[in-house]
Structure formats: structure tokens, C-alpha cells
């Protein structure tokens, strides 16, 4: 006899906040690391000429590591019959490892061990996030997915503020230890605030061939899933490029010796603008049943703002463009997750399928940093840092443009 392994129900505001709070602490961790801590530490360790390329290969390797881990851990959590639930045990182990690894990173003084800690962090963080991503399809009703996705977007924006402010007020070691503590707090709030139904089905015979075969989603049967995956990949290529190289853009293009204060202002502007659109767009996508329109609009607005960064020489315009980007980012985030859940194959393996979908971000980070690393290696010595980083941001516009327009190929969702 099959027993339900999910409990979708109408979530209250407090349940939505609890469900999305782990997303806040996780995103705050990666915001602080990717935008400020890693570029700053690597710059000190390897010097200006090698910093951009070193960050590229470091983050590409980490993202590739994450792409392999997420669907495998997700599939294992789908099969889990732990009495505490399918998702919680993996989250507990993953967050414990994450907190210990973040603490260890603060005591590294050379690039190689720092790089090793970063890869370990990718393993443990994805061990926690892969099963966590399945909680939305597990517990959220179809007609509330836009709102739930909006809360996830809201937490992502709040995480940007926290992620950029923390390294501004604290040194690297203290920042990493505070991030470790926050991961534990995020785990506790979500684990105790979200009801999860344990898997009580009879265990299926273990078959490694069937286990591996389940990772293939046939394009003919599930073409919408593949279009959502591919278009998100393109948009995340643009977003990852901006995210990873904004520090160096402000340093080399805008001529700021210390980019951190301007980074704070720009990212807070992104966050405040996105707050105007994130919950509204998610709610509208539920009310109007128009997910695709919101996703397309959000991607195009981000692309326009990215192109503006290429040409501006004014720090005031950087803030204005950050505000425009934030409006698009909030709109995109508020419906992106809901669109992905809408096109999931009806297989009952949500964590595995969401893990596969999350590869779009991991692959985007890998490909974006690999392309940028190769591009910068060839252009910095020939054109100089300023022109090379301006040209790199033109590439981001192309990513956003095609990632937005190709969403029209999704047929099952309006």
C-alpha cells in the first residue's frame, strides 16, 4: 500500500516564512562569499593579475561539484524512510558540515587549502539544499506556489542585504564564523516550522541501473521541463557573471580602490527595488495564472540593466541601474521557482527532479566563470582590465535576452 509522502496544504504567513527562512540563511552565506569574501581573499592571496582567473576556476569547480551532488542527494532523500522525514536528516548533516567548513575557511592563509575548503563547503551545503528544495512541491498547494515562490524571492533579497553588510562590518574570519552560526539558525527555524510526512512506503529493491536511469527526463515527454531548465540556465549565466565579477567591475572599471562600500549601496538598491516586485509578481502569477509573462519580463529588465553597466561612467548611474535590475530580479525570482514546480514530471521524486533543475544554476556558475576566465585571460593583457570587464558585461546582456525570449517555448504553463 502506498502512503502519502507529502502533505500539501494552505500555508499561513508564519509557515511560509519558516519554509523560506533556510533559503535566507543559505543565500546570505553564498552572497557574502561570492560577492565579497572570496574575491577579497583571493585578491590578497594571488594578486591583481591572477585574481579574476583564479576566482573563475575556483567557482567553476565548486559549481560543477554542486551539479553532481544535488540530484544524487535529492534522489536518495526521495527514497529515505527516516522517521524524522525524508528531507530533515540530510539537512541536519549538511548544515553541520557547512558550519564546520565555514569556520575552517577563516583560518586558511594560502590559496590551495582555501580552495579545498570551498569544495568541501559545496559538498555539505548541497547535501542540505538538495532535499530542502523538495519541500515546496511537498507541502505547497498548486494555487499557492506563486506566493510561496514569492516568499523564497523575498528571502533571497533580504539575504543580499545581510550578505553584503556582514563582511563590511566584520573581518573575514568573524564573518565566516557568523555565517556558520546563521546556517544552524536557518536549519532550526525551517525544520521545526515545516510539517513533513515521513515516507512509510515499503522499500523498493535497490537497483543501481534503475537508480541511474531515473536521472534522465525524456525530452519528448517532458519538453516543458527542459525549456524551463535551459532558459533558467541562460538567465543564470547572466546573473552569475554579474554576481561574480561586480567586485572587480567596480575596482577596475569604476576605479574604486575599495569597492566594498559601493557594493553595499548597489546591492541594497537591488534588494530594495526587488522587494517592490517580488511578492506582488508572485501573487499576480497565481491570480492571473501567467507565470511565463512574469519570468520573461523579469529577465528582459535584468538584461537592460546589465547593458547599462557597460556604458556608464557614473557611480550614481550604477545605483540607478541597480534599482532597475532589482525590479527585474524580484519579478523573475517570484515566479521562477513556481514555474519549475509547475512543469515537474509527475513521478513522485520531487527532490531528485528539483535537484536536476537546480543543476541549471550550478552549470550556469561553472560555464559562466569558465567563459569569463578564458575571456579575461585573453583580453585583460590586450585591452586592459577596464575594457575587458565592460566587454564581459555585454555578454551578460546576450544571456538575459535569449534566456527570457525562449520561455515562450514552454507550452503547458501560461
- Give the start-end residues of each E strand in 68-194: none
Separation between Cα atoms, residue 145 and residue 69, nearest integer Å: 26
Supply angle C-alpha 157, 163, 167, rounded to 5.
155
> pTM of whole model > 0.95?
no
Separation between Cα atoms, residue 227 and residue 205, nearest integer Å: 33
Distances (CA, A) of 161 to 42, 246, 303, 324, 328: 22, 15, 22, 17, 17
Are 141 and 277 in contact, with CB atoms under 8 Å apart? no
List the domains of the chain with CATH numbers. 13-193+219-409 (1.20.1250.20)
At 239-287, the pLDDT tens digits run 889 877 888 899 899 989 888 888 888 888 888 888 888 777 777 777 7
Supply angle C-alpha 48, 54, 60, rounded to 5.
145
Dihedral sign (CA 350, 355, 361, 363): negative
At 185-219, the pLDDT tens digits run 999 998 888 777 666 655 565 566 666 676 677 77
Please choose, from the candidates 309, 295, 299, 304, the residue with its C-alpha nearest in 3D space to the C-alpha of residue 266.
309
At 363-404, the pLDDT tens digits run 787 788 788 888 988 898 889 988 999 999 999 999 999 999
Between residues 226 and 212, which one has the greater pLDDT? 226
Amino acid at each position: 500500500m502506498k502512503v502519502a509522502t507529502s502533505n500539501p496544504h494552505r500555508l499561513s504567513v508564519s509557515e511560509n516564512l519558516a519554509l523560506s527562512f533556510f533559503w535566507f540563511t543559505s543565500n546570505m552565506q553564498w552572497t557574502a562569499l561570492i560577492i565579497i569574501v572570496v574575491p577579497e581573499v583571493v585578491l590578497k592571496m594571488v594578486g591583481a593579475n591572477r585574481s579574476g582567473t583564479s576566482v573563475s576556476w575556483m567557482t567553476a569547480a565548486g559549481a560543477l561539484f554542486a551539479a553532481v551532488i544535488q540530484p544524487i542527494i535529492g534522489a536518495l532523500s526521495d527514497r529515505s524512510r527516516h522517521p524524522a522525514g525524508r528531507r530533515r536528516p540530510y539537512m541536519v548533516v549538511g548544515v553541520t558540515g557547512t558550519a564546520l567548513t565555514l569556520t575552517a575557511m577563516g583560518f586558511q592563509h594560502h590559496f590551495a587549502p582555501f580552495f579545498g575548503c570551498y569544495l568541501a563547503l559545496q559538498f555539505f551545503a548541497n547535501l542540505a539544499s538538495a532535499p530542502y528544495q523538495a519541500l515546496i512541491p511537498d507541502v505547497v498547494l498548486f494555487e499557492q506556489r506563486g506566493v510561496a515562490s514569492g516568499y523564497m524571492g523575498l528571502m533571497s533579497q533580504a539575504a543580499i542585504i545581510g550578505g553584503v553588510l556582514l563582511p563590511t562590518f566584520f573581518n573575514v574570519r568573524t564573518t565566516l564564523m557568523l555565517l556558520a552560526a546563521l546556517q544552524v539558525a536557518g536549519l532550526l527555524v525551517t525544520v521545526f516550522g515545516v510539517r513533513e510526512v515521513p515516507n512509510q512506503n515499503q522499500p523498493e529493491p535497490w537497483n543501481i541501473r534503475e537508480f541511474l536511469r531515473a536521472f534522465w527526463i525524456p525530452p519528448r515527454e517532458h519538453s516543458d521541463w527542459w525549456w524551463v531548465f535551459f532558459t533558467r540556465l541562460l538567465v543564470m549565466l547572466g546573473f552569475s557573471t554579474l554576481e561574480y565579477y561586480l567586485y572587480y567591475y567596480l575596482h577596475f572599471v569604476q576605479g574604486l580602490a575599495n569597492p566594498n562600500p559601493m557594493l553595499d549601496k548597489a546591492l541594497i538598491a537591488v534588494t530594495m527595488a526587488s522587494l517592490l516586485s517580488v511578492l506582488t509578481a508572485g501573487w499576480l502569477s497565481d491570480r492571473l495564472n501567467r507565470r511565463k509573462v512574469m519570468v520573461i519580463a523579469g529577465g528582459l529588465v535584468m538584461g537592460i540593466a546589465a547593458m547599462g553597466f557597460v556604458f556608464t561612467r557614473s557611480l550614481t548611474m550604477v545605483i540607478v541601474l541597480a534599482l532597475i535590475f532589482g525590479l527585474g530580479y524580484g519579478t523573475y525570482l517570484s515566479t521562477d521557482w513556481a514555474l519549475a514546480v509547475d512543469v515537474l514530471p509527475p513521478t513522485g521524486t520531487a527532490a531528485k527532479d528539483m535537484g536536476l533543475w537546480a543543476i541549471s544554476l550550478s552549470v550556469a556558475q561553472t560555464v559562466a566563470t569558465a567563459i569569463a576566465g578564458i575571456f579575461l585571460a585573453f583580453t585583460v593583457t590586450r585591452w586592459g582590465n577596464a575594457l575587458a570587464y565592460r566587454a564581459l558585461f555585454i555578454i551578460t546582456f546576450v544571456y538575459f535576452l535569449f534566456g527570457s525570449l525562449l520561455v515562450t517555448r514552454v507550452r503547458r504553463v501560461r
